Chain A
Amino acid sequence: MVEILSVLADGIAQTVQITLASFVVAAVLGLPLAVMRMADSWLIRLPAVLAVEILRAVPPIVWLFLVYFSLGSSDHVQLSTFQAAVIGLGLIYAAHLSEAYRAGLDAVPTGQWEAARALALPRYQSYRRVILPQTLMVVVPPMATFAIALLKDSAIASVIGATDITFQAVQLTQQDLNGLGNFAVAGLLYIALGLPFAALARGADRVLSRRLAGA
């Protein structure tokens, strides 16, 4: 157990880095996607809707292959396995997070929009000063859930050769043929790494429901 852990530990940093970097990409790109999908003009809405639907309709492993083998192995662009994983997973989860953002934006009462309009705030100002601050808290629990899903999907990066926990477990198994032990420990490692996110989601949920009860 300890021996297995000491080998798999070499992959923890890579798994955490892929997860966090992809999450940042997703969180940054997801918000404009969500806002675009709520625009009045279909010219703005359409590209966002298409991007989200297509990103979610193709399996993550196919995206990673496309980014790594197709985009990242051309004459002009050379991507490392880490970069390819972050781009691929970041884009997929931007689509997922845009749904979370949208649900958060939907949760802001219409009266808040109307008030902002009554005060003649421009659209950008309404978002920044009125709507988004109220969205943030609502968005935390689903975001944490997506972070856990992203952590698990990061295992797919091992298929294109990123040296994460799963990759180490496969390598180790090819030497010692102890698949049962190695992958059991790997699975437990992922579960353990997901615990902080789960706690965050529960905590934010509790704050939210307390606020609801007080409203």
Chain B
Amino acid sequence: MSVWSEWQDYLPAYLDGLSVTLKLTGVSLLVGLPLGVALSLALTAPAKAIRWPAVLVVEVGRGAPALVVLYFVYYGLPQLGLTWTSFVCATIALGFTTAAYTADIFRAGVNSIPVGHREAAQALGLSHWKELRLIVLPQAIRVVIPPLVGFCILLYQGTSLAYAVSVPELLSRAYSQASITYQFTTTLVLAGLVYAFVSLAAVALLRARWPRRSAARTDVAVPAGEPVPTAR
């Protein structure tokens, strides 16, 4: 049997898997993004009692492997009497990771706004909430979107970890095909192609919409990704 006809046989199951993968990505974002915004606000809060727990959550969420977080939820929560499906467990774990990572992205976005703007808002007597809503967030969004899309692509790939707790997503479908046919190469290569196709399409979209800012070559070496230091 040729590779093509094998792939034609696999494809329906793979597309079912892909839809689970995309669903998991979407739901994790729905859970994680609002939490990420809340965390980023907590990270910049004046009160230590609010700031420290947020720092802890972000450090743990970014410092521990997503797979370990996933196992923690999957194997740990039943101890507390919470037995959920593997899909829900994966959503909780990936949502938590999403929150931790995006909190940092949002914070960078908020920090990118010149201090003068916030001072001006305060001078005009705007409340803290209005300052955020009218001055800070509209400007921060623009800075935040490219790294956020980049994170979405990472998250999409990260959903493959849910294979380990037997969510029937794309990789699980490929592996179960492989365990029937023992054709590990053709089954896994097709899975890789499906993952790559969606990732690359998203990357292409990202680059078309937000072309990489071509760093003007100056005579000072500014490490890539580092904001130019400004007086504060």
- Is B195 within 8 A of A187, CB to CB? no
- Is A54 within 8 A of B164, CB to CB? no
Q: What residue in chain A is nearest B222 (Cβ atoms)?
A: A107
Instruction: For residue B51, give the distance in angstroms from its CB to the closest CB of chain A.
Output: 19
Q: Mark A148-185, 1 if CB is under 8 A from B, else 0.
A: 10001111101100000010011001000111101110
Instruction: For residue B230, give the distance in angstroms from its CB to the closest CB of chain A.
Output: 12
- Is B72 within 8 A of A70, CB to CB? no
| Docked pose: A186 CA to B75 CA in angstroms | 13
- Given known contacts A61-B171, A107-B222, A173-B75, is B64 in contact with A152 (CB within 8 Å)? yes
- Is A65 within 8 A of B175, CB to CB? yes
Report chain A residues within 8 Å CB of B124: none
| Docked pose: A141 CA to B65 CA in angstroms | 20
A46 within 8 A of B: no
B189 within 8 A of A: yes
Within 8 A of A (CB), among B36-92: 59-60, 63-69, 71-72, 74-80
Residue of A109, A142, A170 touching B224 (CB-CB under 8 A): A142
Query: Taking chain A's interface residues, is the majority helix, strand, or loop, or is none over half, making it mixed?
Result: helix
Segment of A26-34, A78-86, A207-215 engaged in the interface with chain B? A207-215
| B interface, size bucket | 35 or more
Instruction: For residue A144, give the distance in angstroms from its CB to the closest CB of chain B.
Output: 12
A24 within 8 A of B: no
- Is A107 within 8 A of B74, CB to CB? no
Q: Output the residue of B74, B203, B225, B229 with the most chain A CB within 10 A.
A: B225
| A interface, size bucket | 35 or more
Instruction: For residue A4, give the distance in angstroms from its CB to the closest CB of chain B.
Output: 13
A125 within 8 A of B: no
A106 within 8 A of B: yes
Residue of A54, A61, A178 touching B161 (CB-CB under 8 A): A61
12 pairs from A and B in contact (CB 8 Å cutoff): A58-B192, A61-B160, A62-B171, A69-B178, A111-B219, A152-B66, A179-B71, A183-B72, A183-B75, A186-B64, A186-B68, A194-B63
Q: Which residues of B contact A (CB under 8 A)?
A: 59-60, 63-69, 71-72, 74-80, 157-158, 160-161, 163-164, 171, 175, 178, 184-185, 188-189, 191-192, 195-196, 199-200, 203, 215, 217-226, 229
| New A-B pairs, 5, CB < 8 Å, besides A69-B184, A103-B223, A205-B226 | A58-B196, A59-B160, A141-B223, A183-B75, A187-B60
Q: Which residues of A contact B (CB under 8 A)?
A: 53-54, 56-63, 65-66, 69-70, 73, 103-104, 106-111, 134, 138, 141-142, 148, 152-156, 158-159, 166, 169-170, 173, 177-180, 182-184, 186-188, 190-191, 194, 205, 208-209, 212, 215
